[in-house]
Amino acid sequence: MNRPKRNEHNREKILEVGEELFSRQGYHGTGLKEILDACQVPKGSFYNYFESKEQFAVEVLEYHHQQENAKWSSRIESMPGNLMEKFHESIELFIAEYEQDPETCGCLLTNMMGEIGNASDSFRMTIRNSCTRVIDCIEEDYLSAQAEGSMRNDVPARQLAQLFWDTWQGALLRTKVEASVAPLREVSQTLNILFQPVAATESK
């Protein structure tokens, strides 16, 4: 059995810590020393893996995307019901997690977008590509839901995916300002109604 090398474990640990600190404190609110202390690694080891704090943040975003995508896929696969029911239940679980631990509320990608989206071409390109990849994943799920008949198909899946992404990000910002998950619940419930198959909506 092939096992990850020790340095691969160290690198992933630094990325994991970076994801947590950036999510809670933001990019500018997190110093390199704080990252090193939390990881218990010397500065030299950090720079063996990452050229700069900026490059580290870029790789943290990539790590975050992989982790969240795996978490979402695992939840969807383990739930009963059709895809639309699974999507709605998964979103409700995320909301419940945010409610239990308000400090985790938010999306690292959204936070970074607002904080450093225009800081450099590298950040802007990374964040733009990350957003596109997330929407691509949502669109793929929505295409499957449309194919099985649990989601309306009179609107392109891409358009629905973009609508979800944009409204969800806006709700996350409101949730932070209002210190309440009510905006998230409103979006979840409203989109669940809007995304139902047209025939099912008309029969109600």
What number is the average pLDDT over the span 145-173?
95
Angstrom CA distances, 183 to 12, 48, 134, 163, 164, stand at 34, 43, 21, 15, 13
Question: Does residue 108 come out as left (phi exceeding 0), alpha (psi in the -120 to 50 range) or beta?
Answer: alpha
Q: 24-65: per-residue pLDDT in tens?
A: 888 888 999 999 999 888 888 899 999 988 889 989 988 988
Q: Is pLDDT at 118 greater than 70 in this prediction?
A: no
Q: 74-94: per-residue pLDDT in tens?
A: 888 888 899 999 999 999 998
Q: What is the pTM of this model?
A: 0.82
pLDDT score, position 192: 95
Q: How many residues does the chain have?
A: 204
CATH label, 53-202, candidates 2.40.50.140, 1.10.357.10, 3.40.50.300, 1.25.40.10: 1.10.357.10
What number is the average pLDDT over the span 111-139?
82
Q: Is pLDDT at 98 greater than 90 in this prediction?
A: no
Residue spans of the domains in the chain: they are 53-202
